[in-house]
Amino acid sequence: MNEERNSTIGQELQQARLDKGLSLDDIQQSTKIQKRYLAAIESGQFDQLPGAFYERAFVRQYATAVGLDAVAFMKKYENEEETPAEPDLSAARVDADNVTRTGMHQPEETVADKTRNMMPKIIIGVVIIAIIAIIWAVISSFAGSAKEESKQQSNVSVSTSKVVEKSSSKSSKTTASSVKSDKSSSKTASAKSSSEKKPAKAGKIDLGTGEVSGAAINYGSVKVPNKAVKMQLKAVDGSSWMQVSDASGKVLWNGTVEDKDTQEVEIPETATGVVVSIGNALATQVSLNNQKVDLQSQNASVWRLGMTFTR
């Protein structure tokens, strides 16, 4: 945003606040934006804000807090020649005073650092795979033993029926009925054994339990199928600015979802997790393979969703 337009925006927001009889402390309480950022917006000093993404998010929240139509207000001052910088919400946090703050710029991680950070996840993944393999081996062994035992019981029943037929012709009808009953039981046992060996339906998502920390929620063990999955980003009450990155920091999608629209983002099979940065969480709904994810944003607009995948 250029300086002249910034000054005009600040003056209009300040006048709207004064008309409402509100102080900067009141605006800070309702928007959770630091008072010094609010003062910078009113004075048109947008260079004191954390970045271009926060300029749009903070101005929108301020406009809503003073009773203005935020969508119309943003379109009024929109400049198509400017492209907002990609948001970096990785260091955003909510301190003890319930105010959103951003962290300092962090140096880019080296390959060694990334490898070191990924090691715990790799170890956990190997342990989980080993446990699953052991459980599968035990189940397969149990199913095989049950099938063998059923076969032996069937052979004993047939042998017994032959002995009875030779020793007494009078009881042939009873023996035949017993053989039929034994064969029916054997078939039922085999059918049950086969049904036990059928694997669970593939492709289902298990989100697990999300843990809220500051201005973020993290799902630490999301079970996904061993293939690419799709994430749906829907704006349910106003437009929303979002960015989706994988666990390595690669941006999969970044942009604005307009009101009532849905953006679908494909997450590759190789991704071990995702991070979703949201600029208007109150108006946003996130789903994974059409299964709704509970953001638990606690009335905070700027929000971060983290997911770690297990396959």
CATH of the domain at 76: 1.10.260.40
> What does the mean pLDDT of the chain come to?
78
Question: Tell me, what's the pLDDT at 97?
Answer: 60
For 280-294, write each residue's pLDDT tens digit: 888 889 899 999 999
* C-alpha 24: how far from chain center: 35
Structural domain for 186, as ranges: 120-197
- Report the number of distinct structural domains present in the chain: 3
Q: Three-state DSSP class for 197?
A: helix
Task: Label residue 154 by pLDDT band (50, 70, 90).
Answer: low
The position carrying tokens 């600015």 is: 241
Is the same domain home to 306 and 280? yes
Does residue 139 lie in a domain region?
Answer: yes
Task: Label residue 168 by pLDDT band (50, 70, 90).
Answer: very low
The position carrying tokens 């070191």 is: 116
Residue where a domain stops, chosen among 143, 165, 197: 197
Question: Tell me, what's the pLDDT at 58?
Answer: 94
CA distance linking residue 155 with residue 232, whole number of Å: 57
CA distance linking residue 198 with residue 12, whole number of Å: 66
* DSSP result, 95-148: -TTS-EE--PPPPPPPHHHHHHHHHHHHHHHHHHHHHHHHHHHHHHHHHHHHHH
For 177-236, write each residue's pLDDT tens digit: 443 545 454 454 444 444 444 443 556 899 999 999 988 889 999 999 999 999 898 999
Handedness of CA 292, 295, 301, 306 (dihedral sign): negative
Does residue 103 lie in a domain region?
Answer: no
Is the same domain home to 150 and 226? no
Is the same domain home to 216 and 303? yes
Question: Tell me, what's the pLDDT at 53?
Answer: 87
Does residue 228 lie in a domain region?
Answer: yes
For 81-132, write each residue's pLDDT tens digit: 444 444 444 545 555 565 555 544 444 567 777 888 888 899 998 999 999 9
Is the same domain home to 10 and 31? yes
Does residue 95 lie in a domain region?
Answer: no
**pLDDT higher than threshold 90 for residue 11:** yes
* C-alpha 275: how far from chain center: 8
Is the same domain home to 214 and 185? no
Report, as an integer, the average pLDDT of 30-56: 91
Question: Tell me, what's the pLDDT at 145?
Answer: 72
Least confident interval from 24-38, 59-73, 295-309: 295-309
Report, as an integer, the average pLDDT of 39-51: 91
Does residue 107 lie in a domain region?
Answer: no
Least confident interval from 112-121, 132-141, 161-170: 161-170
Residue where a domain stops, chosen among 197, 226, 243: 197
Is the same domain home to 137 and 192? yes
270: domain CATH number is: 2.60.40
**pLDDT higher than threshold 90 for residue 62:** yes
Is the same domain home to 193 and 214? no
Per-residue tokens: 302: 């700027």
For 266-283, write each residue's pLDDT tens digit: 999 999 999 878 898 888
Does residue 277 lie in a domain region?
Answer: yes
Is the same domain home to 159 and 189? yes
Does residue 203 lie in a domain region?
Answer: no
Task: Label residue 24 by pLDDT band (50, 70, 90).
Answer: very high
Decide which of 106 and 31 is more confident: 31
Is the same domain home to 219 and 298? yes
Does residue 30 lie in a domain region?
Answer: yes
Residue where a domain stops, chosen among 154, 173, 197: 197
Is the same domain home to 193 and 217? no
